Structure 1
Amino acid sequence: MPLRLPDRLPAIELLKKENIFVMDESRAHSQMVRPLKIVVLNLMPLKITTETDLIRLLSNTPLQIEINFMKLKSHTPKNTPVEHMMMFYKDFDILKRQKWDGMIVTGAPIELLDFEDVEYWQEIMGIFDWARTHVTSTLYICWAAQASLYHFYGVPKHRLPKKMFGVFHQRVLVDHLPIFRGFDDEFMMPHSRHTEIHRADLEQVPELTILAESAESGVSMVMARNGREFFITGHLEYAPDTLDKEYRRDFGKRDDVEMPRNYYRDNDPQKGPLVTWRAHANLLFSNWINYYVYQETPYNINEIQ
C-alpha cells in the first residue's frame, strides 16, 4: 500500500521517478482503509530534502500510512519557502488535538548550543511531553535524540574534539528485539555531528536500553518504554549524496572540515559515495512501523495513552 501525502507535496513527484508508490490525499480518500497516522516534526533546515528522505523509507511497507508535518510557532525556517510551510505544515497547537500512531522528530543544526539556549526549547519540551500520551511510538533522530534523552532522563551531551563525519560500523547489542529483525550482526550508519552521548551516562538510567554502538562513533541506538521511544544518534535516513553535499559545501570555508570517513569509493571524492546503509535503513523503518506502531497501536486511535 502507498503513503498518503498532502496534495502537491514536492516529494510525490521526486519519489515517483524512483518508482516509489505514493498517492495524494484526493485519491486516498476513495479507499476504505484506516491508515496509520504518522506526524513528522521536521527541524532540519532543508525541509523538502528531509521530507523526501523520510517518505522514501516510510514507503517500504504494505500498510497505508498518512503523513502530516508539524512546525514550531517559536521558530521560522530560513531555508524553506514560506509558501511551502504554509501549504504543508501545521502548528503543534493544531496537531496536538489528535492522537498519532507514530511520530518522527528530526535532527537540527544547533547541537553546539546548550539545550536551554535553543530558541524553541520550551516549546519542544512541551511537544516531547505531549508525545508520551498522544503517540504510540516515537523516533528521535540525531539532535532530537540527544535533546529528548536530556529532557526525559537527564543524559548530557558532550562536545567532540572534531566532527563525527562519515559512515560507521554499528554492532547490534540486543539482537532478539523486533526492531532488528532481519539485521546482520553489524550494519552501517551515517553520522554528521559535533556532540555525542556517553555509554557511562546512559548506564546510569535503568529505563534505557542501549541497542547498538560503534567503536568509532559511539552509541547509536537507545530504546525506552518497551519501544515507545527510540533514540538514534545518526542518520539512516540520509540519501546517498547527503554527506557529499555537506562536505563540498563546507570544504575550504571551515577549518574543521575533513573528508567523511568510510564513505567515498577508495576514499576518493571524485569516485563518489559507496552506499552501504540503505538496506538496513529500510529494514529499520519497516520494522518500527510494523512491530512498534502497527502491532501496538489501538484500532481506535483515541485509545492511545
Structure 2
Amino acid sequence: MPLKITTETDLIRLLSNSPLQVEMSFMKIKSHTSKNTPVEHMQAFYTDFEEMRDEKYDGMIVTGAPVEQFDFEEVSYWDEVTEIFDWARTHVTSTLYICWAAQAGLYHHYGIPKYPLEKKMFGIFEHRALEPLHAIFRGFDDCFYVPHSRHTELRREDILKNPELTLLSESKEAGVYMVMARGGREFFVTGHSEYSPLTLDSEYQRDLERGLEIELPRNYYLDDDPEKGPVVRWRAHANLLFSNWLNYFVYQETPFNINDIQ
C-alpha cells in the first residue's frame, strides 16, 4: 500500500463495522523502506515480520503495492513477502489478499500469471457473484460495484483450469474479481472495495499533475464531471464483504485455542 495511513484508515473503518471486537497489528518487512509514510509512523505502529513469526492470528489482510508492472521476481522484497505468504498458511485462519497481493498470492501458490492491460483499469465496475449462495456474499444484491485501479489482470481461463481455485465473482468490464482457495482460508480480491469515496479522485488528480496519460475514472463522477464529485455506490458491498469475511471465515473458523491453527 503506497499510502499506508490512508489504507489503514479505510480498512480499520470497514473492520470496525462489526459487532466483533477486532484487535489489529500492522506488519512490515525489513527489505523495504516506505517512501510515502513518515518513519515515525512506521516505528510507532508497525512490527517486523521477524518479531511476529512465532504468533498465530485469526485473520490477515495483505494489501496492494505499486509494483504490478514489474515481474514478480523483480520486486526487491519478493523473497520476504513470499515467505510471509507461506507462513500465513500455518499461522493464520483466513488470509485476504487485495489487488497486487491477490495477483502475487495466486502466482506464488498456484502459478497463475498476470497479464498487462492496454490501458489502466480505472473506475467503478459492476460485478456479479457466480456462487450467490456462498457465505461471503450474504446480503449482497444480484449486482454490486467495486473500484478498480490497476494496469494488469488475471484471466478466468487460468483460474478455471486449477481445481484448487474457485472463481467466485467477476465483471464483464473488469474481469476476475474474487477467487477462493482452501475452503475460504485464502481469498484473492483484485479490486479495491476498501476505497473511500475520494480515493479514485485523488489518484486521478495525482496522475494529471504528474503529466501521465490517464483517462477519467469510469462510472465514477456524476455526469462524468470531476467538478460534480463521485457517485458512491460500493460502500454497502464493501461493508458486507469485510463483515462476512470476519464472521464466517475468521471468527467462526478460528479454533478456541488459537495455537491449534495449522
Give TM-score scaled by structure 2 length. 0.99
Q: Is the 8 A contact 1:165 1:260 kept in 2?
A: yes
Aligned partner of 2:53: which letter?
K
Q: What stretches of structure 2 of length at least 5 have no aligned partner?
A: none
Alignment correspondent of 1:177? 134
More displaced stretch, 69-78 vs 246-255: 246-255
Pairing 1:205–2:158 present: no
Pairwise CA distance, 1:252: 5.2
Aligned partner of 1:47: which letter?
K
Alignment correspondent of 2:35? 78
RMSD: 0.7
1:1-305 to structure 2, matched below 5 A, reads: 44-251=1-208, 253-305=210-262
Q: Distance in 2 between matches of 1:96 and 1:54?
A: 22
Q: Distance in 2 between matches of 1:195 and 1:120?
A: 19
Higher RCO structure, 1 or 2 (CA under 8 Å, sep 6+): 2
Aligned partner of 1:130: which letter?
W
Q: Distance in 2 between matches of 1:96 and 1:190?
A: 33
Q: Which consecutive aligned stretches of 4+ in structure 1 deviate over 4 angstroms post-superposition?
A: none
Q: Secondary structure at the match of 1:67?
A: coil
Q: Distance in 2 between matches of 1:148 and 1:122?
A: 12
Q: Distance in 2 between matches of 1:131 and 1:254?
A: 40
Aligned partner of 2:134: which letter?
L
Pairwise CA distance, 1:299: 1.5
Q: What stretches of structure 1 of length at least 5 have no aligned partner?
A: 1-43
Q: Is the 8 A contact 1:163 1:256 kept in 2?
A: no
Q: Secondary structure at the match of 2:215?
A: coil
Q: Is the 8 A contact 1:160 1:196 kept in 2?
A: yes
The number of equivalent residue pairs is 262
Q: State the Cα deviation string for residues 194-218 of structure 1 (Å, max 9, x = none).
A: 0000011111110100011001000
Give TM-score scaled by structure 1 length. 0.85
Q: Secondary structure at the match of 1:140?
A: strand
Q: Distance in 2 between matches of 1:151 and 1:172?
A: 25
Aligned partner of 1:301: which letter?
I
Pairwise CA distance, 1:255: 4.1
Aligned partner of 1:170: which letter?
H
Q: Distance in 2 between matches of 1:249 and 1:255?
A: 9
Pairwise CA distance, 1:185: 1.1
Pairwise CA distance, 1:256: 2.4
Pairwise CA distance, 1:253: 2.9
* % same residue: 70
Q: Distance in 2 between matches of 1:59 and 1:279?
A: 14
Q: Distance in 2 between matches of 1:255 and 1:118?
A: 23
